[in-house]
Structure 1
């Protein structure tokens, strides 16, 4: 039987296994709850007898579209405060991978090629006709393209990572999770800050901000700005320049106007520009002697940080937008509106051959791409003000995204017949239009003071269309030459209606122990594989991706609220999984196909904990076991080179990850204190390719960071020395195949470096 027709049994979570999982989970939950009830009084009294009790602060989140305590929300949520991000100089969503073990990140030479993964599920494609599986939401506005959200963070209050399908309240492109970013609101008191950072390897950053009242009791505003520069940590031996760096600048501002006691109006504007110099790829492995000679003096190795690209790879990103908000308090309800417009422009220059010049054996390939993405969204929500028997949030949502792209490729190759170099050229213009309508609601029934029932539903209507046209100098009789296909044009449209939702019980075993068990339905809309080298077999519509997820969670606080431990067990099955698959076309040309890859599943366990040992010691620990596997892969039609990948891991999903942080404070005279902090993040090996190429596996590794700071709590300033990657560990954030060679993306933290930061609040 061929692998195309072979049906492989789904190893993880058969019905029997699911029942065992549920029984074990309920037993564990019961034991923990009984233990908690039996010992709550003893633990509490013991903690109160301590001479110096230090309690954890209450963490407020908006995971259910209303402000609630983290410990009362029946969702697996990881929260990182903006203050902690500033202390560690974490300035982008990419840094979440070391903070939240359930999160992984797909790096790329351009922001256009980046995306987030949660619990092993994400989107690996640059097609504008595909939605991300992990939704990024900033101040209530859903970002339509993953590249929009991977630029710098500015003026962040907190980041909430909601794990698992969240389509009920956060929309259709949240089949794997949501990264909910909340920025700081204006303050009525006049305040400001300056935050400066510089490293020994040439990175400099400065952030400034101010907030206060413009019209007493009516209008408040804030504004923050950033400026950053980093030459890079990769050597380009052809141009004799450092690359893999950036230059960026931007601002964010908020206005809050209160014309009456019952109405609050808001206006937000932001702008960020980034110029990046990441190489198209750094060669780490090569099996072709001719290519090795052409690559000289660069020697391929796992720790290589040199390139000879003659076309200076770069990206130029502009991300900007405005939003209008309104919160109108009625007699017993609050009506909220968010109107937003965003634009993202991206220009990408690439050097796909990684050589200083074309040779008789290897063509020189240079790329230039432009993206202009515009989105408009409108959301209206209503919720009751009083907590009665039935609490709810309901609303309507509309969004429209238009994406215009132009991509061109030049190939300079040696013609043996004429003994001369020949230039091939291809240029594609393609556009996508997507419109989304949705009605949603989620409510909580309070049957008793302890027992609640959660129920939510979202109905989504998707309309998607595209058009594509490529002109090329490659004759149609040849089809493809040196990564350029012959001329082609097509268009298409589709529409689908999808349903997502959540349901399940929530129970308070004690005032400090909450348990919940939920079933969630995830939905990700239809897609088209629209890209430069699009061909006829890319024109069929990609069916919507759906998910069925079960989650058992326990949220608890112990030792008089000095210890917080949150645990989640999950099992999710995905059907019509949308994924890129690398294969060969009938001519032997390597291509990447976007397909409905079939069925995949992910299950595992997660823990988030923090322990305030005493006022001078604090310990954070978080970990995740994620078993993300391909269950039944559907090979693309007429693909004779498709390997059997059933039972293999999903890309960008290590089985194990954990992060721990230990903080120590020493109180000095005159309101001074010394702060010591150590962070260690570790992950097991990870496969970067769905086709299971053995050369695209990053082995297990850990990163150790530390800092020492002097702070003045009265004058509100802090001076710190940060050390990143103390053990000088080199690793890859992406490994890709390109002919006979393997290339990697080099992380900012690929080697040890030092940084000094200073922050002053006014």
Structure 2
């Protein structure tokens, strides 16, 4: 039979898998076979933009997991945020946050043809990899799930009918120990087996002040495969895998302390590790940063050759079981109790595909895909025991509040929560209040809870979601070979998606249940003229004067005492001592009834490709494609901040032209492409102080140029490289974007009068489409803050030695231009990562038959400091900021044997 999965498949563009292993660089670049379009084609025949990394390159570059792949694929960015499993895949500046399980990724991850519903399930170490294909742009036809930004497809090595083994042991700094093993061979004349295993342990590179460490590695992966050829035309491949992670990752030290936060932190006995704008390597926490994850799956792929076509079936079941305990306030005070997240899903996928044998005027492919996913997610993040004292200490410096605290004779050190409770208790005891209509109606003043306004029984006690997805699609593609050199490709997919959700919410937070603007209109300064003088300290002023009107009158601001205060008057920050205390409001009122229970999306997506072979060494192509990602539910109580409990489907449209070719008798191969992509209703997830708010961001527009190539100027020397340059990456429409953080007095982190943040100034509140009135910025037409240029370059020189030995000398460089951490475009310097360059190097000594090798390697060898991202600090009143540091210098030695 025809081999259905060629061992020689290496990838498609030109980074192109350099065809260099321990046996040395080749004088010419061999013809590369590709499967990015689900059939075997040469590199020049495949009119798609795809980068490939081979197993040999993974070994040479010491690539451990998917996050390391960006070293060799410039258009791919992979970063871990908060935990090892919160990993975001990003292609051409387009990706989806992994902080909300209601979101499906814009970049789909497939392993051996099986879709991984959440990116976290693809994070364990890579073992026995044949190749990794990174296919860019909307994938609307050939892959099981429709993805609007692209696909990362990982293909592992198959069992072989000859006995073979690989053993690898690595020792490195940070107490790194890695062991890998693989063995393959025949069971009988029709069956072959492969067993793979990996164990990875290393200490963390961030020191905790109590002697622990963070950002460690502790993971293992096992895989077993059975290959069965019951006849000449049939092949069956069964794969079972299991992976586990138990890691304390990922710490985010302080990049900036707001003075009020730092003073309160230290004043209450906490540790303020010096802030480091470059990420830092020390942190003070009193809880865990632990994630425990187990993933497992079983798949069966059947291929059968008929006379004119091949039938393929891929059936898979997968389980994902994650448990997080996370100190979300990143301090050694108990401001926010440990965030406890449980995230579990069970998925089933079935794909059927029929593919013509090729070499016809019209080649064709068609199929159907079924997907069922049952997700259970729960989160508990209540206030900590120190939250009340911290809020009081942090707000004690407010000068207007201190004047009132002094006037009422409250104890020294009293703060905003004390003052609020005193006001309410005073008004309640005097029987006054509710004389001026509130904005929300004639509601009475709130009553102070018996436990106070901030207590450990408040906050997010529990959010629990049972979120089920069922989807099916049918797809097809036709290749018309109009001439020997000119091909027209038409493809399409119809998708149907249904989602159902059952929600349970327990989130008591009386502090967040009212408006400080409205409250200030009703609060009175109770005096003995009309109120019981034995209940309250004696103060000057009018009898039972309203708080804010009295302060306005004292300041000479004209008011009409017979009319309710205007919104602008009630919001005057300098005269409303309560307004700044809105920073206490971390858990907006929300109930299970606010969340939808079901939705259905249908879509037809497709592509058109024109490909022309100018010569045997040059191919030109142009393509237009659409992509689709279904809408869904906001699986987070943070939905209350924006009012968006259900988000809409994401639609992408992409135009691309490209060229692939070779020069100098095939010593140089290259691929270059221009792309222009627009995504409507882009699903974005933005940080809002204590969590993330998910919404549709109108539209984004991205265009740029990609180049990848390899060049072997002389025997045994190979250069590979590539870059992605974004000509444009902007919001086409984003009217209700988040504003940057603000200080406790209501002023922003931006310079007063900065037109970029004019809409974020108090008094400019707007009402979004969901009916929520708040401060929103308008980012329409503005740059999204992605890196403009990302590029990589590698060089490998092979030097033959005597006695059948050789040395490979390898150097790697990756350049990343500046990028912003936050969607809100926080203008402070530490919220933008400056351009940086990382260097890797290795020296490998081994046999020219590849039977053994010793590799000395280093990554980030110059120990460059950089950050992966950042966010406004959780649980604080001021504008403090935390940042995730990039991986530091690592080095070690690897011993590898192969037989």
Alpha-carbon distance, 1:534 to partner: 4.3
Alpha-carbon distance, 1:629 to partner: 1.1
In the other structure, the counterpart of 2:274 is 299
Matches within 5 A, 1:596-611: 596-611=696-711
SS at 2:513 equivalent = coil
Q: Give the CA RMSD over aligned residues.
A: 2.1
Report the more deviating stretch, 366-375 or 470-479. 470-479
2: distance between equivalents of 1:345 and 1:134? 22
Going from structure 1 to structure 2, the CA distance change for 1:356 and 1:437 (only over 3 Å counts) comes to: same
Matches within 5 A, 1:340-489: 340-358=316-334, 363-412=335-384, 413-414=387-388, 416=418, 422-425=455-458, 426-475=461-510, 478=513, 483-485=586-588, 488-489=591-592
Question: Retained in 2: the 8 A contact 1:596–1:634?
Answer: no
2: distance between equivalents of 1:297 and 1:118? 37
SS at 2:39 equivalent = coil
2: distance between equivalents of 1:344 and 1:582? 25
- Is 1:745 the counterpart of 2:884? The answer is yes
Alpha-carbon distance, 1:74 to partner: 0.5
User: Which of residues 632, 638, 648 is equivalent to 2:733?
Assistant: 632
Report the more deviating stretch, 721-730 or 511-520. 721-730
- Is 1:683 the counterpart of 2:816? The answer is yes
Matched residue count: 697
Going from structure 1 to structure 2, the CA distance change for 1:726 and 1:257 (only over 3 Å counts) comes to: same
2: distance between equivalents of 1:152 and 1:559? 38
User: Which of residues 484, 495, 520 is equivalent to 2:625?
Assistant: 520
User: Which of residues 56, 65, 69 is equivalent to 2:42?
Assistant: 69
In the other structure, the counterpart of 1:117 is 90
2: distance between equivalents of 1:523 and 1:533? 25
Going from structure 1 to structure 2, the CA distance change for 1:422 and 1:528 (only over 3 Å counts) comes to: closer
Question: Retained in 1: the 8 A contact 2:103–2:632?
Answer: yes
Question: Retained in 2: the 8 A contact 1:355–1:364?
Answer: no
Going from structure 1 to structure 2, the CA distance change for 1:687 and 1:511 (only over 3 Å counts) comes to: same
CA displacement 1:336-367 (0-9 Å, x = unmatched) = 00000011111111112211124xxxx24320
Question: Retained in 2: the 8 A contact 1:488–1:535?
Answer: no
1: distance between equivalents of 2:858 and 2:260? 40
Going from structure 1 to structure 2, the CA distance change for 1:707 and 1:448 (only over 3 Å counts) comes to: same
Question: Retained in 2: the 8 A contact 1:580–1:594?
Answer: yes
2: distance between equivalents of 1:477 and 1:607? 51
Alpha-carbon distance, 1:99 to partner: 1.5
Alpha-carbon distance, 1:421 to partner: 8.6
2: distance between equivalents of 1:167 and 1:664? 40
Going from structure 1 to structure 2, the CA distance change for 1:152 and 1:482 (only over 3 Å counts) comes to: farther
2: distance between equivalents of 1:512 and 1:197? 42
SS at 2:648 equivalent = coil
1: distance between equivalents of 2:731 and 2:44? 34
1: distance between equivalents of 2:597 and 2:453? 41
1: distance between equivalents of 2:69 and 2:506? 41
In the other structure, the counterpart of 1:717 is 852
Alpha-carbon distance, 1:62 to partner: 1.7
Question: Retained in 2: the 8 A contact 1:496–1:525?
Answer: yes
SS at 2:665 equivalent = coil
Question: Retained in 2: the 8 A contact 1:402–1:431?
Answer: yes
SS at 1:168 equivalent = coil
1: distance between equivalents of 2:660 and 2:781? 33
Alpha-carbon distance, 1:681 to partner: 0.3
User: Which of residues 180, 195, 198 is equivalent to 1:226?
Assistant: 198
- Is 1:593 the counterpart of 2:712? The answer is no
CA displacement 1:502-556 (0-9 Å, x = unmatched) = 1021000011211100000111111211125443964543111111110001010
Going from structure 1 to structure 2, the CA distance change for 1:599 and 1:563 (only over 3 Å counts) comes to: same
CA displacement 1:75-122 (0-9 Å, x = unmatched) = 001110011112222111111222111111232122442110111111
SS at 2:307 equivalent = coil
In the other structure, the counterpart of 1:669 is 802
Question: Retained in 2: the 8 A contact 1:394–1:442?
Answer: yes
Question: Retained in 1: the 8 A contact 2:639–2:645?
Answer: no
In the other structure, the counterpart of 1:150 is 123
User: Which of residues 864, 876, 882 is equivalent to 1:729?
Assistant: 864
1: distance between equivalents of 2:58 and 2:643? 42
Going from structure 1 to structure 2, the CA distance change for 1:457 and 1:173 (only over 3 Å counts) comes to: closer
Question: Retained in 2: the 8 A contact 1:366–1:411?
Answer: no
In the other structure, the counterpart of 1:558 is 663
In the other structure, the counterpart of 2:254 is 283
User: Which of residues 45, 48, 56 is equivalent to 1:83?
Assistant: 56
Alpha-carbon distance, 1:582 to partner: 4.2
SS at 2:632 equivalent = coil
- Is 1:160 the counterpart of 2:133? The answer is yes
CA displacement 1:27-56 (0-9 Å, x = unmatched) = xxxxxxxxxxxxxxxxxxxxxxxxx98111
Question: Retained in 1: the 8 A contact 2:262–2:272?
Answer: no
SS at 1:169 equivalent = coil
- Is 1:60 the counterpart of 2:161? The answer is no
1: distance between equivalents of 2:107 and 2:246? 25
1: distance between equivalents of 2:455 and 2:600? 44
2: distance between equivalents of 1:442 and 1:463? 25
Unaligned stretches of 5+ residues in structure 1: 1-51, 584-588
SS at 1:424 equivalent = coil
SS at 2:673 equivalent = strand
Give the structure with the larger strand fraction: 1
Report the more deviating stretch, 296-305 or 322-331. 296-305
User: Which of residues 219, 222, 234 is equivalent to 1:248?
Assistant: 219
Alpha-carbon distance, 1:614 to partner: 2.2
Report the more deviating stretch, 640-649 or 349-358. 640-649
1: distance between equivalents of 2:511 and 2:206? 40
Question: Retained in 1: the 8 A contact 2:605–2:627?
Answer: yes
CA displacement 1:640-660 (0-9 Å, x = unmatched) = 311132233335x31101000
Going from structure 1 to structure 2, the CA distance change for 1:345 and 1:401 (only over 3 Å counts) comes to: same
Scaled by the length of structure 1, what TM-score is found?
Answer: 0.88
CA displacement 1:261-307 (0-9 Å, x = unmatched) = 12211100111101111144211112224426535351111241111
Scaled by the length of structure 2, what TM-score is found?
Answer: 0.75
- Is 1:315 the counterpart of 2:315? The answer is no
> Considering only CA atoms, is the larger Rg found in Structure 1 or Structure 2?
2
In the other structure, the counterpart of 2:305 is 329
Unaligned stretches of 5+ residues in structure 2: 1-24, 390-417, 422-450, 515-581, 737-767
Alpha-carbon distance, 1:310 to partner: 0.5
Alpha-carbon distance, 1:591 to partner: 5.8
Question: Retained in 1: the 8 A contact 2:476–2:493?
Answer: yes
Alpha-carbon distance, 1:324 to partner: 0.8
Question: Retained in 2: the 8 A contact 1:737–1:743?
Answer: yes
2: distance between equivalents of 1:92 and 1:150? 6
